[in-house]
Copies of this chain bind each other. A is one copy, B any other.
């Protein structure tokens, strides 16, 4: 039990830090005391970077990724293929997919997945704007890159239905064995899917590429 800090400034900083996800009051106190021990510039740099980020980052008007301008750097990159759009749940997933260097098209950030339990309905997500993009931007392919969960699959299916009548190819990420994992420890559902979706072995095939 942490009771009194004898300082409203410390109390205040601990209170604000402990609002962050996964940071309780004990951790918040540890972080605050760490900042007190370090150089003043370090604490000021941290505080200002948070304020600047929140004040100046906005969302790309096209794909809803974070951006510092009207269009995000990905949408304004002319070397990318604007006819292929990868649909992801959130901003973090853009970073994750980008790190694979396997997608050279654009993105569309939904802002979540359909989840009745959390009160998230299709209207809360950027689904209508995706449907509009398909027509207006004349998209060739929409890659659904949502998590392989019940909510993700529900959202995949909802979007698939919405796009069914439009002349666009809708694909989704393959489900199969995780590279590097033992077969023995793969769950049955995934193993089953990986049998259904088995790939024709060819002499030019490099398994882990």
Contact = CB atoms under 8 A, between A and B. Distances in A.
Given A48-B47, A90-B33, A9 B95 contact: no
Interface stretch (A36-44, A145-153, A173-181): A36-44
A2 B96 CA distance: 7
A101 B170 CA distance: 66
Given A1-B99, A20-B31, A31-B20, A9 B56 contact: yes
Contacts of A52: 9, 12-13
Interface string A18-49: 01111100010111111110001011111111
Given A90-B33, A92-B29, A51 B43 contact: yes
Main secondary structure of the interface of A (DSSP, over half): helix
A157 interface: no
Interface stretch (A62-70, A125-133, A159-167): A62-70
Interface of A: 1-10, 12-13, 15-17, 19-23, 27, 29-36, 40, 42-57, 65-68, 72-74, 90-92, 94-95, 98-99
19 contacts: A2-B95, A2-B99, A4-B98, A6-B65, A6-B66, A6-B95, A7-B67, A10-B57, A13-B53, A19-B46, A20-B35, A20-B46, A21-B30, A29-B95, A43-B50, A43-B54, A43-B55, A47-B49, A47-B50
The 3 closest A-B pairs by CB, nearest first: A43-B54, A47-B51, A47-B47
